Homo-oligomer: A and B are copies of this chain.
Amino acid sequence: MSDDSVVRPRPEAAVALRPASGGRIQGGFWGARQRVNREVTIPLGGRRIRESGAFANLELAARGAGGEHRGKVFADSDVYKWLEAVAWERGRGDDESLAGPYAEAAKLVAGAQRADGYLHTHTQLTGRERYSDLASSHELYCAGHLMQAAVAAGRATGDRTLLDVATRFADHLVKDLPPDALDGHPEIETALAELYRETGTRAYLDLATRMVTTRGHERLPLKGHHGPGIRQDRVPLRQATTVEGHAVRAVYLAAGAADVAAETADADLLAALGRQWRDMVATKTYLTGGLGSVWYGEQFGGPHELAPETAYCETCAAIGSVQWSWRMLLATGEPAYADLMERTLHNAVLPGISLDGDRFFYVNALRVRAGANPDDRRAAARGRQDWYGTACCPPNVMRLLSSLDHYVATQDGDGVQLHLYAGGTVRAGQVLLEVETDYPWDGRVEIVVRETPVHPWTLSARIPSWADPAATDAEPGTYHRVRRAWRPGDRLALDLGVRPRLTAAVPRLDVARGQVAVERGPLVYCLEQTDHPGIVVDDLCLAGPDLRDGPALSGLPTDVVPVTARGRAHAHREEDGGFPYRTAAAPREPEHMGPVDLTFIPYYAWANRGAGPMTIWTPMH
């Protein structure tokens, strides 16, 4: 059995499920996204990273004579994430044109490594003392991304160039890293665990375990106005009851901790992570799955602090959330983790990249107001950007899309579990499945058994928690499980009931008060200004609960299904130009203008026909 999975627990790991990762996504919704990623985004990423000077930093570092470092202190990680994407893509076998660029970049990386295994071009070029400012330097963060790229290359292509670099670096860290050293920016924890999984070198896991379990004692120096929580250094993970601080750092750390918990069979740590994950979902997660509501520090807000307009929802945080949830799913087998993964992939990762694959969002607002200040550098109204000075997100999307095949299904002693629905194949031991579906546009999924052992086994298919219980074969939020002796050609047909629906929020989620969101299957929808000419999106409201699938829209791919509804617009009268607060015995009943046809599109597809106002939540009257 091929096992090139993106997370690969050791045989002795305490996990409920193991990846079933020999299959491939082919065609359909995610296949199209992967094709754009391969044909447009990854080549473009290589060019942008070259332009940013990150390759030049490696060349300069290889000479060993110092020099001017270009870009951010973590510029190396852009190269590594891109290399990881290239490696997974090569493993998918679709395009050998990436072999040359991969080999060239891997050689640059290898050349820049110091004789003792150390590698961080900013430190090498500036001559700064190693590990002297780990709160900011990103030395171990970059090391982590190097290790992840190396593991990907090893698993996907068998190439050991980067694995040799990574293991030399890891050996150096085991030997020479100051005791108790922690990076301000977690990432190396999961990378060391994976490098252990790949190499069997227990010292790597021990180092990751030390980093995960000794964090949270306010040992990292404080920077700026923030407290220790911004770097997850306020409360040890084992005691924490929720997520806090910088959202990307939090979920990266949690993913690494989940790896450690699995490989060390640390049930207490796993339980703590589950508690934190559930609190995050209940109180700190946007409808899209996006994480981080506070620009100041790119961090989680307090419970239910989820304002749509000022959402940070960094694309990287969504990616880290998928990584964490996947590890929790493997550890526990609980479908809630797969539910959040699906929501996050469709509505928090995918909005970070344009349909054409060449423009990006770093921050993903859930609302853009009319008349946003043109000078306001927060404004999503400025639209997608070609690239970012801090370019963490684009190559992060690349590596996730290139490795998405590995997040589709799992296996255990009893059978095979499908968590995500994408057309293609699933390989798990002696089982080969073929999945035929137009999901998420259509809820029908046909699972065809192509190869099977003769003995009975259980085919489990996740019924998403949003599904209509009347339409599905099992309770939403569980698995539809069919145990039998399968024969080649056997089919399991699901209908997940993909129809437009309205979603509301609990009362504590005050920012959604009196409003609803439109969802359809796993997709969150939004109202965009471009579909409502002459009426400001801010003034639109639903006139009733009826939603219908609408005709394709020009400027969007033809497979995108809009949702239409009858709406109205709040009258914005002349006198509303005055002080906007008025004496009233009750909340002001808005006056309305005539009927308006509302057109909702999937949120992931917004800002592809120009920038402008947009909202996910819509008032009901």
Contacts and interface: CB of A to CB of B under 8 A. Distances in A.
Interface in A568-585: 570, 572, 576-585
Contacts of A227: 375-377
Interface stretch (A15-23, A58-66, A228-236): A228-236
Contacts of A510: 538, 619
Nearest to A545: B585
A588 B309 CA distance: 22
B580 A508 contact: yes
B304 A513 contact: no
Contact of A584 (B516, B579, B582): B516
A389 to B, nearest CB: 9
A586 B620 contact: yes
29 contacts: A226-B375, A227-B375, A229-B373, A234-B375, A278-B577, A281-B579, A285-B579, A294-B376, A295-B296, A296-B296, A296-B378, A302-B371, A302-B376, A304-B369, A304-B580, A307-B511, A310-B310, A465-B579, A502-B585, A502-B586, A504-B582, A504-B587, A506-B581, A507-B539, A507-B590, A510-B619, A513-B514, A516-B584, A545-B586
A244 B374 CA distance: 9
A494 interface: no
Contact of A508 (B468, B539, B583): B539
A305 interface: yes
B583 A501 contact: yes
A71 to B, nearest CB: 16
B577 A282 contact: yes
Given A282-B579, A516-B584, A307 B304 contact: no
Nearest to A243: B373
Contacts of A294: 310, 376, 378
Given A227-B375, A227-B376, A506-B572, 19 more contacts: A229-B373, A229-B374, A230-B375, A282-B577, A282-B580, A294-B378, A295-B296, A302-B369, A302-B373, A307-B307, A502-B585, A504-B581, A505-B580, A505-B588, A506-B576, A508-B580, A510-B619, A511-B511, A513-B513
Contact of A504 (B465, B502, B588): B588
Interface string A487-529: 0000000000000011111111111111111010000000000
Interface centre among A299, A507, A576, A583 (most CB of B within 10 A): A507
Contacts of A535: none
The 3 closest A-B pairs by CB, nearest first: A229-B375, A504-B584, A507-B570
Contacts of A269: none
A372 interface: yes
Contacts of A320: none
A437 B504 CA distance: 49
A300 B374 CA distance: 12
A234 B510 CA distance: 35
Interface in A265-297: 278, 281-283, 285, 287, 294-297
A305 B309 contact: yes
A91 interface: no
B583 A502 contact: yes
A29 interface: no
A301 interface: yes
Interface in A30-89: none
A441 interface: no
A363 to B, nearest CB: 11
Interface in A185-214: none
Contacts of A305: 309, 369, 372
A379 interface: yes
A245 interface: yes
Contacts of A371: 283, 302-303
A235 B297 CA distance: 30
A468 to B, nearest CB: 8
Contacts of A229: 373-376
Contacts of A175: none
Contacts of A576: 282, 506, 508
A466 interface: yes
Nearest to A234: B375
A225 interface: yes
A158 to B, nearest CB: 41
B304 A503 contact: no
Contacts of A514: 513-514, 587
Nearest to A308: B510
A468 B585 CA distance: 13
A228 B375 contact: yes
Contacts of A307: 307, 309-310, 511
A370 interface: yes
Interface string A435-465: 0000000000000000000000000000001
Contacts of A370: 303
A369 B303 contact: yes
Nearest to A506: B580
Nearest to A570: B507
A366 to B, nearest CB: 12
B508 A375 contact: no
A562 to B, nearest CB: 20
